[in-house]
Amino acid sequence: MTDHHLASRLIGPAILATLLAAIPLAAHAGQGQHRSGELPAHPPVPTLRGELRQSELSVPVPIPTPRPERPKEPPEAEPKPPAPGKSTGLPKRERTCRAALTALGIDFTDKAPIAEADGCAIPHPIIIRRLSRTIALEPEALVNCRTALALARFFVDQAPSLAKRHLGQALHSVHHASAYVCRPRRGTQKLSEHAFGNAFDIGVFTLTDGTQVPVEVQKDPNGKAAKFLDAFRAAACGPFKTVLGPGSDADHGDHFHLDMKARRNDHAFCR
Ligand SMILES: [Zn+2]
């Protein structure tokens, strides 16, 4: 039985005829045969927004002209750091001090200013490697110029004769225990004079024959070393504003502490 016969039996011949007449195209739509005028041969294809059509592509697109180049500015000249060893731009007092050091035969190197957050500071520090033309310093020491000059004067004018008299020979070198150190005084909140490059600790004297004289309480208080150390310590009080050593307190049993702390009436504290 065909579909038509089945349909006519189900819904009646008259209704079927009406339905069939109304859908002539639908019965052939799947075969790809379109009668002219009934369906457009090429239905319009929607263009997506933003797509360029062929006609639009043919329009010449203006090419942006490059901006004229700005004339190049000359690079900024960077300030030159001062050459090491050159004492330029220093206050007069510092320049005078350096001239005096040079006159005594002391080589030095200027260093960058020290200014630590906790207050330790040397505005114009120097490094010294000798205490006189003939007395070496080991290791090199970072101090302010005033302290360096006090050391140089003492080791040029006084220390050689003390060594000759009590030890019978010349000093070859001095080993220092500390110079600039950013620290408070032991047991206090107050900064040490070392924190300002204002202090210098002597640990050991070495003589020209290699003999070492450590700064400590001597077994023989009447021996050469003891006499030299006592004489040195006494002579240093005055040229240096603080002199401490073995016997002063527990902190100075193995070195002489010399510093340039300013006191009223230029008073020196020696113990
Ligand atoms: Zn010290």
Say whether pLDDT at 59 is over 90: no
CA angle 203, 206, 212 (to 5 degrees): 80
Say whether pLDDT at 78 is over 90: no
Span from the CA of 229 to the centroid of ligand 1 (angstroms): 17
> For residue 34, what pLDDT is reported?
42
Q: Same domain for 118 and 228?
A: yes
Q: Same domain for 6 and 116?
A: no
Span from the CA of 200 to the centroid of ligand 1 (angstroms): 6
Query: Lowest-confidence range among 1-10, 30-39, 155-164, 187-196?
Result: 30-39
Q: Same domain for 25 and 157?
A: no
What region, left, alpha or beta, does residue 15 occupy, with left being phi > 0 and alpha being psi -120 to 50 degrees?
alpha
Q: Same domain for 19 and 136?
A: no
End-to-end CA distance of the chain: 137
Q: Same domain for 179 and 246?
A: yes
What is the greatest pairwise CA distance in the chain? 152
Domain for residue 47, yes or no?
Answer: no
Q: Which alpha helices (H) appear in 109-248, and where do they start and end?
A: 145-157, 159-167, 224-236
Q: Same domain for 28 and 110?
A: no
Say whether pLDDT at 43 is over 60: no
DSSP state, 123? S
Q: Same domain for 99 and 187?
A: yes
Span from the CA of 85 to the centroid of ligand 1 (angstroms): 26
> For residue 73, what pLDDT is reported?
53
d(CA 80, CA 27): 96
Span from the CA of 230 to the centroid of ligand 1 (angstroms): 18
Say whether pLDDT at 35 is over 70: no
Domain for residue 15, yes or no?
Answer: yes
Q: Same domain for 23 and 118?
A: no
What is the pLDDT averaged over residues 133-160? 98
pLDDT (tens digit per residue) in 178-233 = 999 999 888 888 999 999 999 999 999 999 999 999 999 999 999 999 999 999 99
Q: Which residue range(s) make up the domain with 18?
A: 1-36
Q: Same domain for 159 and 257?
A: yes
How many independent structural domains does the chain possess?
2
Span from the CA of 23 to the centroid of ligand 1 (angstroms): 117
CA angle 151, 139, 93 (to 5 degrees): 35
Q: Which of 193, 53, 219 is nearest to 122 (CA)?
A: 193
Domain for residue 30, yes or no?
Answer: yes
> For residue 53, what pLDDT is reported?
44
> For residue 67, what pLDDT is reported?
60
> For residue 155, what pLDDT is reported?
98
Domain for residue 60, yes or no?
Answer: no
Contact, 91 vs 113, CB < 8 A? Answer: no
- Quote the percentage of the chain above a pLDDT of 90: 62
Residue 16's pLDDT band (boundaries 50, 70, 90)? very low
Half-sphere exposure of 191 (CA within 13 A, CB side): 18
Q: Same domain for 178 and 248?
A: yes
- φ, ψ for residue 268 (rounded to 5)? -105, 145
Query: Lowest-confidence range among 41-50, 138-147, 227-236?
Result: 41-50
Span from the CA of 27 to the centroid of ligand 1 (angstroms): 115
- Residue holding tokens 């002539």? 24
Say whether pLDDT at 45 is over 80: no
Domain for residue 43, yes or no?
Answer: no
> For residue 185, what pLDDT is reported?
87
Domain for residue 172, yes or no?
Answer: yes
Span from the CA of 268 to the centroid of ligand 1 (angstroms): 15
Q: Computed over its alpha carbons, how large is the radius of gyration of the chain?
A: 50
Span from the CA of 221 to the centroid of ligand 1 (angstroms): 24
Say whether pLDDT at 18 is over 70: no
Span from the CA of 152 to the centroid of ligand 1 (angstroms): 18
Mean residue pLDDT across the chain = 81
Listed residues: CB within 5 A of ion ligand 1: 199, 201, 257
d(CA 211, CA 181): 29
Q: Same domain for 255 and 171?
A: yes
Strand segments, DSSP code E, in 69-223 are 108-110, 114-115, 121-122, 126-130, 136-143, 171-178, 199-207, 212-214
Contact, 199 vs 220, CB < 8 A? Answer: no
Domain for residue 231, yes or no?
Answer: yes
Domain for residue 171, yes or no?
Answer: yes
